[in-house]
Structure 1
């Protein structure tokens, strides 16, 4: 709970401040990177959860915020029970939703000023990858 409650608070604060779509995209992007699940499928699950959360709100801003924190805490607890690999994401939820690009790795700005037959730029490679001929 020491990880989940602050995560839920950060999530609700970001949703109320920045809007659902931005928060959902940032969360799904990081979740996808951690679990290798398709981002679109994660966004669908998050949208369904968001729709359920909207059903419990009453229009009382303070009361709704408390209900939303409780709802998202339960949601995050269930997610962690199914996917323990997401513990780091939940622990770091504040920065994950506050700055969606913060965990995308360093920005790379390469320039080609010559003649090139084939130019490849990529990131986050793993496995038995070979470039060129053997």
Structure 2
């Protein structure tokens, strides 16, 4: 596992549809998916992160948004996910069968401005460290 299992807990699963033409996401831990100001990663069954991101509000809402963006692009209807990236998602799921979303909400840290939850800093560090295949930028 590339990410700390003590901190990052499984929250959702991504799989291909039966006809293998689109993706779907199922929430596996509804309580964890209620968290905001959190870092998430889509990982392979071997634990390798393929996408790392953050959510300001609900982790579940963010994780459940993936199929809409990717499937819209695969169907040729444009959207936030470029076609080349949507095809990479399809290839990764074909190769691995399933991806698991793991979520971590960092503890607040005291700063001069008061307590701040450093989820954006954690994301930035993890992207630099792992260089996930499906992150478009390497902040």
Sort the TM-score into its range (normalised by shorter chain): 0.3 to 0.5
Report the TM-score when normalising by structure 1. 0.33
Higher helix share: 1
Report the TM-score when normalising by structure 2. 0.32
Higher strand share: 2
